[in-house]
Amino acid sequence: MIEFCSRKRMVVAIVVLLSLTVLTLFVEGRWSTAKHNLVDVNSGRDSEENKSRCGAVKEVIMEECRTCKPWEQEQAFCQRTGYREKVGCGENKSDSDTFFRSCHVDPWVEERKFWLVEALTCLLGLASYALVKYRQSILDQQLLDKVNRQIAA
């Protein structure tokens, strides 16, 4: 069936499918953030477990918020949001003054990562397509040269 489609029809079908995919992603993204209040789900900073353990000393974030490792999932700081950050008390870097607490990642950060991966995938696909077209033109030229040599002989 696909062999009977012209090149123009195939390009139109691919463009329509890509447009529908992007439209679906936008609609789902808007609908899911409107339906679920992600700020309430990820409000790990305001909970009792995240109250300052440093007292009057200023907290210093030593590691930014990142996903908990599989072996950390049972820990209290990972169970609420699935993300953790390393916090230290004051400017000294001793391990006795550091602890982990849950944190939240803004939805736009995750969305930005998703679109970055999509853009890189698209660029990789375009580069692959260009390479295939270039290689095909070289092979076509070699075939044409071979046929011309055979005709000349």
Helix (H) or strand (E) holding 28: helix 7-35
Give the pLDDT of residue 146: 95
Confidence label for 100 from pLDDT (cuts 50, 70 and 90): confident
pLDDT in tens, 78-88: 888 888 888 88
Q: Which residues pair with 100 in a beta bridge?
A: 86
pTM of the model: 0.48
Listed by start position, the domains of the chain span 1-36, 38-105, 106-153
Take residue 87 and report the two structure tokens written for it. 């916090």
Tokens 């998703």 -> residue = 114
Q: Which amino acid is at 104?
A: H
CATH tag for 38-105 (out of 3.30.43.10, 3.40.640.10, 3.30.720.220, 3.40.50.720)? 3.30.720.220
Report the pLDDT averaged over residues 117-124: 93
